[in-house]
Chains A and B, each alone.
Chain A
Amino acid sequence: MTKLLNEKMQFWGYRRPDGRVGVRNHVLILPTITCATQTAQRVTELVSGTVSFIHQHGCAQVGTDYDQTARTYAGMGMNPNVYGVIVLGLGCETHQAHRIGDEIAKCGKPVQTVSIQEHGGTLQTIAEVAKIAVKMVQDASMVQRELCDFSELIVGTECGGSDACSGLSANPAVGKASDMIVQQGGTAILAETTELIGAEHLLANRAANDQVAKKAYAVIKMMENRSIQMGVDIRTGNPSPGNIEGGLSSLEEKSLGASTKSGTTRLEEVIDYAQVPTKKGLVWMDTPGHDIEQLTGMVAGGAQVVLFTSGRGTPTGSPIAPVIKISTNTPMFERMNENMDLDAGTIVNGIETVDDVGKRIMHEIMQVSNGKLTKAEILKQHDFGIWRIGPTF
């Protein structure tokens, strides 16, 4: 690989008890069940410095689907962008709040668990959680940022609302940034298995070893088999109507464009949804193409920053990780400017090269890691959704 940056890149981050580094310092109110999400929201309205999210999970789930949801909750709490967590349960649900809380506490950060049924209802629970949150937010505010290397960053990458420019401008530029992150000793996550169908051979050829190559083919086959078992044409969901309007004709075409986000480095491992990477370098997380579900999986897997390319435009953000949104074309960047952070349409316009934009993305990662707010953070775009792999019972 050619050397793209000469200097070692650093940023100011928050060191956590487990040694990992955050770029934000949130107190997370983590509802482990749908029934607790509204109560959690009320607390975020009362106590500044807290974040939460709405979801429909946490009860009547079994087997691997149960495990995946539990892993996602715990991963959100353990993400180093979170200073401390108040785990909020109802009391009777399958995903017991105290179990999730115990799991998060293993990483050494402050964790408290509260149950609505034990506290005699919504209002008393709000008061209890808010009191804990006030103390936790003040403690969080005492943590000073320290100088950290880019090698401590896990950067998620995704594309959503793709158009025919995605594979020509923003995705290759993110691929260039991915190469530079790996060169700095950091980790880049490639996700959305669905949108790699038709490009798996290109990634398998870059696998660190046979096992990784086999897993790359295996996760593609599992994803493709889901559509075959349902007897459906995957195109009824992907490419989406917006993709087709933008000029993408098939899933393979979309995949070839999507895979350019992975750059050119060796594929070190293929990991499960919401799993924390065990290796540095380029890592493929098995997620669906659904924007929010893949975003949630990567953030639960420890990504502190996410790069998100879009051709059609999207407001998406995460409650705990800054999402840097990169447009594939300039007209959309101008039309949806309050949602987009960087423009890679300059490549299509012939003003900048893929290398230029890749370097601009790296600079933005540094600034955002230092505290610059992304558009999605400013607009409180707190999206969260877990990839369900089983029915609810």
Chain B
Amino acid sequence: MSSYKTLYLSNKDSVAVALSDIPEHTEVVVQTDTEDITVTLLEQIRFGHKFAVKAIDQGADIIKYGEVIGAAVSFIPAGAHVHVHNLEGKRGRGDKIAE
């Protein structure tokens, strides 16, 4: 078990934040208010970046701070890097309305 620190902000969250660069295949422990969740990282997660603590369905809301930060563009397995390649913001999207 690794000692890499991660941060989980709210019990509703689907993602946690890496507090240092963490190599791929690392098993990290995410501490929530109620339990410790063990997640195996599927890829390297850089300092400040997010990973899924549980599987997120395509189109589902992604939650951080207990609030919606966007939707999943594709299915995101637990341990995957969550960022602009698989998370789409839902606000200020003049491009969507103009289509």
Contact = CB atoms under 8 A, between A and B. Distances in A.
Query: Do A and B assemble together?
Result: yes
B69 A232 contact: no
B89 A251 contact: yes
Given A247-B50, A249-B84, A253-B64, A231 B69 contact: no
Contacts of A249: 50, 69-70, 82-84, 87, 89
B91 A251 contact: yes
A356 interface: no
B88 interface: yes
Contacts of B56: none
A93 to B, nearest CB: 34
B83 A247 contact: yes
Interface string A202-239: 10000000000000000000011001111111110010
Contact of A228 (B5, B65, B84, B94): B94
A198 B48 contact: no
A74 interface: no
Contacts of A235: 89, 92
Given A164-B48, A247-B49, A198 B68 contact: yes
A227 B94 contact: yes
Nearest to B90: A252
Contact of B67 (A165, A199, A238): A199
Nearest to A220: B91
A366 interface: no
A251 B91 CA distance: 7
A234 B48 contact: no
Contact of B65 (A165, A167, A233, A234): A167
A126 B37 CA distance: 69
B61 to A, nearest CB: 10
B48 A253 contact: no
Interface of A: 163-165, 167-168, 194, 197-199, 202, 223-224, 227-235, 238, 244, 246-247, 249-253, 256-257, 311, 329, 348, 350
**In the complex, the 7 A-B pairs of residues with the closest C-beta atoms, listed nearest first:** A234-B92, A250-B89, A164-B48, A231-B98, A247-B48, A253-B69, A247-B49
24 contacts: A163-B48, A167-B65, A168-B9, A197-B91, A197-B92, A202-B67, A228-B92, A228-B93, A231-B97, A233-B94, A233-B95, A233-B96, A234-B94, A247-B46, A247-B47, A247-B50, A247-B83, A250-B84, A250-B87, A250-B90, A251-B91, A251-B92, A256-B64, A256-B65
